[in-house]
Amino acid sequence: MEKFHLDTERLIITEFNESMIESVRENSLDEDNRRYVPDEVFETTEEARKTVSWLMDCYTKENEPPVYPVLLKNGENIGYVQAVPMAEGWEIGYHIAKKHTRNGYATEAVKAFLPIIMERLSIREIVGVCLPENIASCRVMERCGFVLEYKGAGNYQGDENVICRYRYEWLYE
């Protein structure tokens, strides 16, 4: 499969490489990441190195989560966008480091990523799950065309919580 590379107006979405290890660690340490995706916090460079190595290996395997760094045009790594396999399909995931939030980067990345990854995975729908208090994530999904299909009790990060479950359907040819 050819290397993943996507340019938007302000961003580059591509594949991880070893030069991104330290920025992955730094981006993972903000309070939003700690609160909403604590399993994606890397306290040490070695933890980040292991994860980046595993993610790079996933690019060559089926049914592994394709996770791609989101870079500014100057090459600065500001987060990621991903599709994660679930029991019943695929889930979208994304994170933009706190110092880069409120600029529309998550929305821009997700909007560009959805048709490409859905075609590559041969899927017509993808879900997004977040906590209701994660207003920014809810707004990103709504701006990208996801529809809220459920709000109530559900599993989030291994715990029972109130969740919002969104669904996005795409009809490609």
pTM above 0.75, yes or no: yes
Select the highest-mean-pLDDT range: 12-16, 61-65, 116-120. 12-16
Helices (H), the chain: 21-28, 31-36, 45-58, 105-121, 135-143
Q: Which amino acid is at 164?
A: C
Q: What is the mean pLDDT of the segment spanning 32-54?
A: 93
Quote the pLDDT of residue 173.
55
Distance CA(79)–CA(68), nearest Å, equals 9
| Rg for the chain, CA atoms, rounded | 15
- Tokens matching residue 147: 């529809």
The full set of domains in the chain, from first to last, is 6-169 (3.40.630.30)
Please say if the pLDDT value at position 172 is more than 70. no
